Amino acid sequence: MTENTPRIVTCPTCATAVKWTSGNAYRPFCSERCKLIDLGAWADEQHSIPGDSVEEDMLSGQLDNSD
Ligand SMILES: [Zn+2]
């Protein structure tokens, strides 16, 4: 019985086997670098979405003209 065997997870960025321990501050990533890469990819996706705010602004402008 080895109750303290750390759980092994796969780094989402580079697919390296990572021990899920309290000492690993970057889990489930293998390193800070992989964590930042993943966060960066996520942020890029958010920014790559074309903004529809211009169209919305035009529509709301028409509604505003209710004089
Ligand atoms: Zn990694």
Torsion sign (Cα): 33, 35, 41, 44: negative
Cα 63 to ligand 1 centroid, rounded to whole Å: 51
Number of domains in the chain: 1
Residue 40 falls inside a structural domain: yes
Q: Domain of 51?
A: 7-61
Mark the residues whose beta carbon lies below 5 A from ion ligand 1.
11, 13-14, 16, 30, 34
Cα 43 to ligand 1 centroid, rounded to whole Å: 18
Per-residue model confidence (pLDDT) at position 39: 87
Per-residue model confidence (pLDDT) at position 19: 93
Residue 21 falls inside a structural domain: yes
pTM over 0.85: no
Residue 36 falls inside a structural domain: yes
Question: Domain holding 56: CATH number?
Answer: 3.30.50.10
Cα 2 to ligand 1 centroid, rounded to whole Å: 26
CA dihedral 31, 36, 39, 44 (to 10 degrees): -140
Residue 1 falls inside a structural domain: no
Per-residue pLDDT of the chain (67 residues; tens, 9 = 90+): 666 788 999 999 999 999 999 999 999 999 999 999 998 876 776 655 565 555 556 666 666 666 6
Residue 47 falls inside a structural domain: yes
What is the Cα–Cα distance from 54 to 62, expressed in whole angstroms?
13
